[in-house]
Structure 1
Amino acid sequence: MKIVSWNCNGAFRNKFQYIQKLNADLYIIEECENPEKIIRPEYLNYVKSSAYKCFKGDKKGLLVFSPVATINPVHWNDNRMRYYLPFNFLKHHFLGVWTKDNYIEDLYLYSSFNIQKLKNRYIIGDFNSNVMWDRKHGYRTHSDFNKLVSKVGLGSAYHMQTGDLFGQEKQATFYLYRKPEKPYYIDYAYLPEKSTFNITFGDSSFLQYSDHLPLILNVK
């Protein structure tokens, strides 16, 4: 199963063809406009199933779609924290994420409220977070989040694969103002620690379309 997560930086209707080339089974697209605006035949003919979440007053939300199988959204109380989309797909359990507002603090709370439901679930998306900013977040930091989800056997795919320490990532997923000299690691895939997987990222050509690179996760 191949999963691609990408913060498209808006206007996904004009960028779909670039992410389609990655040939994934599942796409998680953050900062996406209402998919009803995407009327291009190549998108409509490609998508077999989708789910979208957007709060009233927001112009962008979180889109999940697949060209191969049905996406089945699951209802959890989000306590008005944005954006969290739990769903099931191909007998696997997912939580799509695009944090807004309080970023890791909200993700920590949302995860703590639903901690038992996160067991054996993939948490994937744009967290807008890194442990280097722990001091800004008091008692609900990224390090706290790591400790929380480790209790149900989840870990970051990138860090498990590379051995990089949190906050010392050699790979960037986000470039502030799309400038190569301003790299950060803020997009994640957390999954059961016993999983067999490979994680990679899109190349720098994607910076023409967004300030984020696609995260590409292959799970066996």
Structure 2
Amino acid sequence: MKIITWNCNGKFQESFKEIIKENADIYVIQECGNPSESKSDDYRQFASNYFWVGANKHRGLGIFARDEVNMELVDLDDEGLRYFIPVKVNDDFNLLGIWTNPDMEGTKVVHYPKEVTKYYEEHKDSGFFNEDMIMCGDFNCDVRLVNKTHGKNVYEMMDKLSEVGLVDVYHYLNDEIQGEESKSTFFMNRKLEKPFHLDHVFASPDKIKDLEIPEPEYWMNFSDHVPIIFEI
């Protein structure tokens, strides 16, 4: 099964035609519009099997799948956190789509990793978090961001997820450490000289067969993020 996570930077009713060229089974998309309120017939047709959450119709978090993929929404209270979509796929594994975007006045980037940690702490005893699950999306987490406290919060998040056997798959497969990635997923103002690694996939070490972060030049035509493409 092929899965893609991508922050599309809005206007997904247009750029989805680019990402589907990758021919994935599931797309976890951040900053996408609500298909049910879109005027695009093509976008609504693409979104025949999906879940979406958002504060407004233009930018939210969506999980889109082929019609033959069975997705069931798992009933977990978000406890005021946003945006998270927990689903069970083909009655086989759990998938958690993520776009950390706190809804609190004055919230700073330093707190973004805490959103994932809080969600884990709220639901770690629910059975949803386990070694067969996959978490992916725009975590807005890079140990180089803001200050040392942000980095500390990133490592805290990683330690918590390791309790159920989950690792940051890119770093595991490439034997790279946080903050020294050879491939970036985000480029500030779409400038290649301002790279960060904000997007992540967490799974057990043997869950992901292959993971690719494509070269950014092409994708900068559509977003300030590049997709992460992986297979299980």
1:118: which partner in 2?
A: 129
Aligned residue for 1:159, secondary structure, equals: helix
Contact map agreement 2:143 2:151 (CA 8 A) in 1: no
CA–CA distance in structure 2, aligned partners of residues 217 and 26 of structure 1: 10
1:21: which partner in 2?
A: 21
Q: Which runs of 5+ in 1 are unaligned?
A: none
Deviations 1:159-191 (A, max 9, x none): 111000111111000000000000000100000
1:62: which partner in 2?
A: 61
Given the two structures, how large is their TM-score scaled by the length of structure 1? Answer: 0.91
Contact map agreement 1:3 1:25 (CA 8 A) in 2: yes
Q: Which amino acid aligns with 1:121?
A: M
1:104: which partner in 2?
A: 113
**Superposition RMSD in Å:** 1.8
CA–CA distance in structure 1, aligned partners of residues 129 and 139 of structure 2: 16
Q: Which runs of 5+ in 2 are unaligned?
A: 103-110
1:6: which partner in 2?
A: 6
Residue identity (%): 29
- Aligned-pair CA distance for 1:113: 1.6
CA–CA distance in structure 1, aligned partners of residues 36 and 163 of structure 2: 39
Contact map agreement 2:25 2:65 (CA 8 A) in 1: yes
Contact map agreement 2:208 2:230 (CA 8 A) in 1: no
Residue 209 of structure 2 is aligned to residue 200 of structure 1: no
Contact map agreement 1:200 1:216 (CA 8 A) in 2: yes
Given the two structures, how large is their TM-score scaled by the length of structure 2? Answer: 0.87
1:80: which partner in 2?
A: 80
2:189: which partner in 1?
A: 177
Aligned residue for 1:208, secondary structure, equals: coil
- Aligned-pair CA distance for 1:30: 0.3
2:231: which partner in 1?
A: 218
- Aligned-pair CA distance for 1:58: 7.0
Q: 1:201 to 1:38 in 2, by over 3 A?
A: farther
Q: 1:138 to 1:146 in 2, by over 3 A?
A: closer
Contact map agreement 2:35 2:44 (CA 8 A) in 1: no
Deviations 1:45-72 (A, max 9, x none): 44441101113x5741101111231221
CA–CA distance in structure 1, aligned partners of residues 178 and 100 of structure 2: 19
CA–CA distance in structure 2, aligned partners of residues 16 and 58 of structure 1: 16
Residue 94 of structure 2 is aligned to residue 93 of structure 1: yes
- Aligned-pair CA distance for 1:198: 0.7
Aligned residue for 1:194, secondary structure, equals: coil
- Aligned-pair CA distance for 1:136: 3.1
Q: Which amino acid aligns with 1:65?
A: F
Aligned residue for 2:3, secondary structure, equals: strand
Q: Which amino acid aligns with 1:6?
A: W
Contact map agreement 2:143 2:150 (CA 8 A) in 1: no
Q: 1:136 to 1:44 in 2, by over 3 A?
A: same
CA–CA distance in structure 2, aligned partners of residues 138 and 159 of structure 1: 15
Aligned residue for 2:114, secondary structure, equals: helix
Contact map agreement 1:115 1:149 (CA 8 A) in 2: no
141-150 or 46-55, which moves further after superposition? Answer: 46-55
Aligned residue for 1:87, secondary structure, equals: strand
Contact map agreement 2:169 2:208 (CA 8 A) in 1: no
- Aligned-pair CA distance for 1:39: 4.5
Contact map agreement 1:94 1:123 (CA 8 A) in 2: yes
Q: 1:37 to 1:18 in 2, by over 3 A?
A: farther
Aligned residue for 2:172, secondary structure, equals: helix
CA–CA distance in structure 1, aligned partners of residues 165 and 100 of structure 2: 22
